[in-house]
Amino acid sequence: MAMLSVKDLQVYYGSIHAIKGVSFEVNEGEIVTLIGANGAGKTTTLHAICGLVKAKAGEITFCGQNLRTTDPHKIIRLGLAQVPEGRRIFARMTVQENLEMGAYIRKDKSGIDEDYESVFKRLPRLKERRKQIAGTLSGGEQQMLAIGRALMARPKMLLLDEPSMGLSPLLVNEIFEIIHDVNRSGVTVLLVEQNAKKALSIANRAYVLETGTISMSGDADTLSRDEKVRKAYLGG
């Protein structure tokens, strides 16, 4: 059984039919990416999974739990954490305080302390800046902090929304290596990304989202060689 299963998802914003019957699965241990142009419905799909927007119809299950009937604040307790588009760090708090917010659902102090060290080992720049006000970090460091904050919830699955947005090519490479490393440590990943080339380079499987529908799906390496995908998303 898939860890995350989305079946015939339907989402409306008023009279606008934003998501039109989207179906996909993410299996344990995978990196699965949703790629597509701006406005294709990628972020809306993630928001529906996390309960931030209500689906009109369809099924969303995570580890056998029906997410459509689960409150957003309870979804993270099931092991599903999101790194939102635009990072959404707590700009006036320190790096350390942002990480503490990521662990707010947990009571196991020793485990939390272990995860601080794990995050700092994976993201040493955050350790150097642990007392720094988060809003003064660079864009790349803020993205690292957003990932670290999500990892403090000790998730089974990490949802990432446009992690490369606004970053230099060098930092994009660094962020994607971090994502790959997180996955290798045992965290399943669902990645929404406009940089299709980078997303396909680390994903196991991919789905192409166009105007609220899945137009293509398959092995990421195969899709990266598909002529339609190359012309539309990979620069020819």
Global confidence as pTM? 0.93
What's the confidence (pLDDT) of residue 63?
A: 95
pLDDT (tens digit per residue) in 170-185: 889 999 999 999 999 9
Give the chain's domains with CATH numbers: 4-233 (3.40.50.300)
Q: Could you tell me the pLDDT band of residue 236, with boundaries at 50, 70 and 90?
A: low
With bands split at pLDDT 50, 70 and 90, how would you rate the model's confidence at 85? confident
**Percentage of the chain exceeding pLDDT 90:** 74
Q: What is the pLDDT of residues 2-59, one digit of tens each?
A: 999 999 999 999 999 999 999 999 999 999 999 998 888 999 999 999 999 999 999 9
pLDDT digits 0-9 by tens, 124-142: 999 999 999 999 999 989 9
> What is the rounded distance in angstroms from the CA atom of residue 168 to the CA atom of residue 174?
10
Confidence of residue 87 (pLDDT cuts 50, 70, 90): confident
